[in-house]
Amino acid sequence: NELPVVKMLQKPAVIGDSIPAEQIALALGISLEDLDVRNFAPVIVKTEVAHAMIPIQNIEILNLIKPDNKLLIQLSKQYDFEGFYCFAFTGEKNGTMVQTRFFNP
């Protein structure tokens, strides 16, 4: 039973400014230590639309995020992007390697 493949084409990604991790953590309702900033910086990436790419330590933390929408809106206006794309690696080598949550207040 093979699953169908869905493909999406878009412009090449352009990596923009980073966003201070402290501001991101506060807006997402998590601690600074919950971000995976050792390996990745929270940055704005634009294809057609700019989004903040936010690295999270693990899936458990990813699922516990309870954002403050007012702070999310302030950050998105301040840094000129439209949504927070939070991601965490699953640790799997095959199959689903990353899980995500997207917040667009």
pLDDT tens, position by position, 6-59: 888 889 999 999 999 999 999 999 999 999 988 889 999 999 899 999 999 999
Under 8 Å CB-to-CB from 75, ≥6 apart: which residues? 19, 23, 24, 27, 52
> Is the confidence at residue 78, as pLDDT, over 90?
yes
Quick check: is 1 in a domain? no
CATH code at 87?
Answer: 3.10.310.10
Instruction: Decide if 43 is inside a domain.
Output: yes
Residue 95 has pLDDT above 80, yes or no: no
**Mapping DSSP to helix (H, G, I), strand (E, B) and coil, where does residue 7 land?**
coil
Position 8 in a domain: no
* 5 falls within a domain: no
Task: Specify the residue for token string 């090449």.
Answer: 12
Q: Which amino acid is at 61?
A: I
Any domain includes 79? yes
Q: Quote the number of domains for the chain.
A: 1
Residue 77, domain member (yes or no): yes
Is residue 70 assigned to a domain?
Answer: yes
Q: What is the pLDDT of residue 5?
A: 86
